[in-house]
Amino acid sequence: MIQFLVHEKDDSVGVATVDIKAGETAAGLFMDTQETLEVKTLHDIPLGHKIAMIDHHVDGSVIKYGADIGKVVADVKKGGHVHTQNLKTRRW
C-alpha cells in the first residue's frame, strides 16, 4: 500500500496519503516516473503533511512540485516531519 507520494523525482519531500507512524518503513511512489521507494519515518506524519526525502539543513530549500516552497528554519533528517515547526515561506 502506498503511504506517500512524491510529485517529481527531484522533490525533497513527499506527501502522506495516510497517517504514518514513527518508526514505520513507509512505501511511496514517484508520480512522474511511477517508481516506488521506501523511507523509515522518524516522526508521526499526519495525512496531507510532508515527509523529508533527504536531510534538510537550516536556510536550505524544500522542493515540492519541482519548485522551492520555502526555507528550512530547523534541521530535518530524512524521514522527518516537514511542517511549520521547521519550514517557513520565503515571502516574509
The pLDDT tens digits for 1-12 are 999 999 999 999
Question: Stretch 60-83: mean pLDDT, rounded?
Answer: 97
Relative to beta strand 25-30, strand 4-6 is parallel
pLDDT value, residue 92:
66
For residue 91, the model assigns a pLDDT of 76
Residue found by looking up cell 517557513 in the block:
88
Instruction: Please say whether the beta carbons of 39 and 11 come within 8 A.
Output: no
Give residue 85's pLDDT band: very low, low, confident or very high (50, 70, 90): very high
CATH topology of domain 4-88: 2.30.130
pTM across the whole model: 0.94
Give the pLDDT confidence of 16-69 residue by residue, as tens digits.
Answer: 999 999 999 999 999 999 999 999 999 999 999 999 999 999 999 999 999 999
